[in-house]
Amino acid sequence: MNFSIFHEIRRILLLLVASLLVSWYQHSLWPTAVALLLYLSFSTWQLARINNWLLQQPEDWDPPESSGAWGDLFDNLYRLLRREKAQREALAELIARTESSVSALRDGVVILDRWQRMTNWNQAAALLLGLRRATDLRQPITNLVRNPDLLSYLRAEAFERPLNLPSPHVPHVMLEISVTRFGAGEYLFLLRDITQLHQLEQMRKDFVANVSHELKTPLTVLKGYLEALQDLHGGEHKTLDQALSQMAQQSERMQALINDLLFLARLESAPKIPAPEPLALKPLLNKLWQEAQAIAPEKQHQFTLDIPDTLTLQGSPSELQSAFLNLLTNAVKYTPAQGHIQVSWEALNEGGTLTFSDNGPGIAKHHLPRLTERFYRPDAGREQHNGGTGLGLAIVKHVLIRHHAQLDIRSQPGAGSQFICHFPAPCIANT
């Protein structure tokens, strides 16, 4: 038991015993009643002192003077308040330093509550989005940044990839928006000015598209003269015939490369697919398989198509056809003779997967993350021998992204490969 409490109890007992002795001596309870009234008055007075002192905080830090249990209570309250004040000042200093650091960032920072209302932002965000605290605080961000892509991005809550949007306040400025969830459902928006990167990327796209387009005409002329020379010389000179054949072969390869570059340029220049159309998948894949196996009919591949007859995808028929043909063509090129190629469908709660499998030589693990890069070749010699352009998987990736789908590549050397297309539920019209 606390020493002061023990003394307080002893004081009360002494007062009670003394008052009872006086009451017994006077044959009256008045002395005891008066003693109890005096102690209650003293306790009430001490409570009033505590209340007045607390009301005067923090201007008055000195506690009332007292002794016994009341004195200990005043001292303990004083130490508790001092400790709480020190912690509050440290927290305020930390908050001030954090706000100062965030304000000094060149990137914009916006904090949203769980209802996507803006609760705080720094100066960079105010300049990029045109925010004003007097009118915009506690407003939903979609009321100020009126862009359907942002609304869809927030609804989907797929924040693994950033979102690129034009600034609603600063003309010709492109923003990259990264979102992180934290706390009790709040959102942290990080805004980066990527205008220069966007312009460089646009210049690259324009350069590739323009050069590819300009090369198309002279290449057509060159191919025409090669065909004419082959017809005129009639195979009389073996060396010349071989040279013309190789030139025609390389011109065909260059023509395929230019066509792929132009197709990629069209995919990149159009932010969205045209009006989606229903596409019956099984008849399309049967048709594409006939085209793909014509590349190497001598290999006599075994082909299995495990697709529901009623499966229909919603999207761009030309783009999906190009993506699937590239996957089938790759399987035909790299699967050895008598090999097995399979295309299968698996329905999932959130959509479905279309898998292109083969039992070819497989691909080393360290190559997989880069396979969809333009012109990336795990085996440059083999790619050139098979006549590939190095753009097929890049086209597949872009087509799937435009359909809100994803490409997953799984492969091991000697165990074949799987190219898995994950389609979301909105892309599946009928299963």
| Unique residue bearing structure tokens 């793909």 | 292
In order of 135, 147, 195, the CA distances from 189 in angstroms are 19, 15, 18
**So what's the pLDDT on residue 335?**
86
- Going residue by residue through the chain (431 aa), what tens digit of pLDDT does each one get? 455 666 667 777 777 777 778 777 777 777 778 778 887 887 788 788 777 777 777 666 677 777 677 777 777 888 888 888 888 888 878 877 767 666 667 888 888 898 989 888 888 888 888 888 888 888 898 888 888 888 888 888 878 888 888 888 888 888 888 898 888 888 988 888 888 887 777 777 777 777 777 777 787 788 787 777 777 766 567 777 777 778 877 887 787 777 777 777 777 776 677 678 888 888 999 898 888 888 888 888 888 888 888 888 888 888 898 889 989 988 888 888 888 989 999 888 888 899 999 888 888 888 888 888 877 777 654 445 555 667 888 888 888 888 888 899 998 888 888 999 998 888 887 54
The pairing of beta strand 302-306 with beta strand 340-348 = parallel
**So what's the pLDDT on residue 1?**
44
- Every domain range in the chain assigned CATH 3.30.565.10: 277-430
**So what's the pLDDT on residue 419?**
92
The pairing of beta strand 277-280 with beta strand 406-411 = unpaired
pTM attached to this predicted model: 0.57
Phi and psi angles of residue 75, each rounded to the nearest 5 degrees, phi first: -65, -40
* Class of the domain covering 105-193: alpha beta
We find that the CATH architecture of domain 198-269 is Orthogonal Bundle (1.10)
| Unique residue bearing structure tokens 């210049």 | 203
How far apart are the C-alpha atoms of 118 and 306, rounded to whole Å?
Answer: 50
User: Which strands make up the sheet holding 174-182, listed edge to edge?
Assistant: 118-121, 108-112, 186-193, 174-182, 163-166
**So what's the pLDDT on residue 236?**
64
Contact between 188 and 216 under an 8 Å Cβ cutoff? The reply is no
Contact between 398 and 268 under an 8 Å Cβ cutoff? The reply is yes
- Every domain range in the chain assigned CATH 3.30.450.20: 105-193
- Burial track 218-230 (b if 16+ CB lie within 10 A, e otherwise): ebeeebeebeeeb
How many other CB atoms are there within 10 angstroms of residue 393's CB atom?
A: 22
**CATH H-level superfamily of 277-430:** Histidine kinase-like ATPase, C-terminal domain (3.30.565.10)
